[in-house]
Structure 1
Amino acid sequence: MSVVGIDLGGTKIMAGVLKEGSIHAKLTVPTPEEGGMAVVRAMAEAARSVIDASGEEVRAIGLGTPGPLDFRRGRVKFTPNIANLTDFPIVELLEEATGLRVYMENDANAAALAEHILGAARGAESSLFMTVSTGVGGGFVWGNRVLRGANGQGGEIGHVTVLPGGPSCGCGLDGCLEALATGPAMERMALASFRREMTTRELFALFQQGDSRAGRIVRQAASWVGVALASLVKCYDPEVVVLGGGVALNAGQGYLDEVMRSYQRYMEGWVAPPIRLARLGGEAGLLGAALTAALEVGEV
């Protein structure tokens, strides 16, 4: 028997059947702009399509969704990029639409779980995952279980404060890692430095060509990632650290070297677990969603 994974994003919904550690019959559909029940219907239709295409008998659905989430009630508290999902009973409604049991997980936590079980941290007892892209997400996994915390907000590492009084973050506070180290943060700094709008792709190209202004921006962002990783490692003491996301994987070796320099500086005198690059790419969230259900029904 198998499980279905659904990865709900702001622009697309991915679904697939997990069998023997890999995804089969994967399908991607647009996320309905109107949100709400239209999203539920789109996810249910995608689930039915991949089940039919795979020919598998499916036991449950694992859903990876942005949050914050209310795990006790199976609800999305709100999502900044999907309409009409405020205090939304997404688990109950998807169960009604599919006739299958649904197990929900935060999307970044789901990716952390996938990298832990099937990716860069495979074989480790515990791992810390960080993804740096348009935002910062991640999670901590111990013994194949994601640490959610008492209120479901464990693993919100993008909102760790690394520079009190620093730039404002989308969460409403200041100095969060997400406000300092992401693609948009670097684009904001590039606008101030170069006096023109610049994509991260352009910025990284200049950095790799040795441009001094681009170098200052990229290395500063990388150093904040190293500071945050060191602080998180001291809290969680994982066996392995996994680093992924578009920024981390596309900025170049110089960026990674700066992350490591900063990380090692702030881990001086402590045991520093190795940092490995994420291996599962864009499929990590889908795999993690499916693994969430597979763990609950005994398929892992």
Structure 2
Amino acid sequence: MEKAREVLVIGGNRYFGKRLIARLLAAGDRVTVLNRGSSAPPAGALHLIADRNDENSLSDALGSRAFDVVVDQVCYTPRQAAIARRVFAGRTRRYVMTSTVEVYEYEDSLVPVRETDVDPRTVAVDLELPWDDLEFLDAHYGEGKRQAEAVFAADPEFPYTAVRVAHVLGGADDFTGRMDHYASRIRDGRPISVPVTNRPATYIHVEEIADFLFWAVGEGFTGPVNAASHGLLTTEDLCGAVAAHFPDGKTVFQPVEVGEVSPFSFTRSYGMDNSRATRLGFPFGEVQQWLPAAVAETLGKDGH
């Protein structure tokens, strides 16, 4: 009988993080959840309380503990990454950071981007930027993730991987409200603002990204990896799936030259090439196949 893995999850209180924890527990792993104490972990998981932004707090909470794998769900800045790299050096055989498709925000390619298009070893890190300012952080989300990846990549002895997650859809607990944005406008026939040139993007189902992270925990590869279902979706595709719940509604697109546009509408392509993960052995689903169910889950079966 194999020895249970010791896995630490930093964050993971909601959405695909809690699904990952459930999968780890079901597999018999010894799971420890570290957060600020705002919510208790599920039954069966151990709980550590610490401020991951405070190196002393993090070190004190960990004590002498070591882990086979650490899954960091809430690393948003190079400062957080620098603290984590120092604290977890020698404490884990593998560090899995949840990153984002937004690291490609400066790329302008109609061809799906590969991991090598943003090599974290070449990304400049600036620890002096106001990363503690929530407004700044929100406006620089992709850059924060890029630089966090770069901090981990700078130490060749630190065994990390950065999972660049596509836009996530599905689940009744989707807290973003993005599908509701479309549902309310289609139901009422109100205009849906989109860019004049509206590009497609890659997506992944909430259950699929939980599956992917669980799979990654057991693998040995390092460096960035794109996690996205096969295929692209346009705003029209999303609205078509939403409109199926509102037969009396109306879908009206309003192209805008300048100004705010609807969620999941992009002036540049956000397509990711998932061939590295596929070669490593993960079987992605087809986005068009799971989209209708994902929309139904989010809106509720009655469309509300």
Task: Tell me whether the two structures share a fold, i.e. TM-score over 0.5.
Answer: no
More helix by share: 1
Length-normalised TM-score, structure 1 = 0.32
More strand by share: 1
